[in-house]
Chain A
Amino acid sequence: METDDPESAPGDEAWKAHTSGFDRVQSVALTVSEPRTAAWVADEALVAENTARRHLQRLTDLNVLTADAEGGATTYYPDPVYVRTREVRALVDAHDRDGLTALAADLKADVEAWSEEYDATSPDELRTQAADETVSADETRARRRVASDWEHTRYRLSLVEDALARYDEFTDRPAPA
């Protein structure tokens, strides 16, 4: 049923029908670009503020989020340790040691190719190039894409290196007695 709520968006009803309030609070809280309050998360996750606060507290207890109560209303933000661990787990599940070693080489080669192609030493430098008004619209978009791919790849390489450094520990499972 569509509501007359001016804040409602198409798809809200389907989202609510196919996910739990906890799922929505978690997904909103893990995709923010800056620390947000329970009221803000509640609006986006389509739950009551008290419900959002309860789920956010639980996620903070589980070290999925970090909470900051300084300066008034408590704000929540993804815990970088949780985010890293989750991605390392996905990498170790999907690739064996040789696969991870090959992936690391592949990611490094991508960065070197971008660096060479755009004569830049960092994604920030590429974004500065993209902002140059003499660059065409297509080139601006291409440079912004590569800057983002570069940031993404740099982080991913650090994940692969973590996975390789502790590969035995992360894949160890004692045999049943």
Chain B
Amino acid sequence: MSRRSRASLAVAVTDGGRDSSRNLGQERHRILRELRHQLDPHPAVEDVRGVPNGKFRELRANLDPAAFGRDAEDASLRVSWWPAPDGPEYAIHYSESTGFDCGFHREPNPHVEGKTHYQERDSPDEAYEYEAVELSPRTPTRLLWTVLDLLADRLQ
């Protein structure tokens, strides 16, 4: 790396995000913190933590598969949230020990029209099936409860 890019990197590391009108790093922290609080009281959630340890980039919850009427031994939920100047992207994704996994995502993708969709597969060896969906909540925590309700429907 050249000396010039090292100097500008030092600025990039320490300025706390002043080059954006919104502090998106702070926003992602407070959204993940609230989503974590909101997972705690959900009846299907056994425990929830931020991962990777110390970096707090997304959430992992252990779920009780029986709460969704599932026979699996273990189930978990991954919650990712990526604020962006042109609207947030997210993934709320269920996986279980049978190999089945599914989730509601909002992200650019070549599979469906629009960003928001549901995807599932029976095992990691298979390709996902995608379906465009519309979700009405405008805030992350209400959306979380909506997605957990829709996941329960899909998992029946």
Contacts and interface: CB of A to CB of B under 8 A. Distances in A.
Given A31-B34, A115-B12, A144-B82, A19 B55 contact: no
A63 interface: no
Contact of B29 (A23, A111, A156): A156
Interface residues of B, number: 60
A30 B34 contact: yes
A12 B142 contact: yes
Interface in B104-155: 107-110, 135-142, 145-150, 153
Query: Considering residues A11, A80, A84, A123, which has the most beta carbons from chain B within 10 angstroms of its beta carbon?
Result: A11
Nearest to B53: A94
A87 B88 contact: no
A28 B146 contact: no
Interface in A92-149: 94-95, 99, 103, 106-108, 110-112, 115-116, 121-124, 127, 137, 140-141, 144-145, 147-149
Contact of A137 (B16, B110, B135, B153): B110
A177 interface: no
A121 B12 contact: yes
Contact of B25 (A7, A10, A121, A154): A154
A113 B24 CA distance: 20
Nearest to B144: A11
B31 A154 contact: no
A148 B141 contact: no
B142 A44 contact: yes
Given A14-B149, A152-B25, A28 B1 contact: no
B8 A121 contact: yes
Interface stretch (B37-45, B71-79, B95-103): B37-45
A127 B85 contact: yes
B13 A108 contact: yes
Given A121-B9, A137-B108, A158-B16, A151 B25 contact: yes
B14 interface: yes
5 contacts: A10-B150, A11-B145, A148-B83, A148-B89, A149-B57
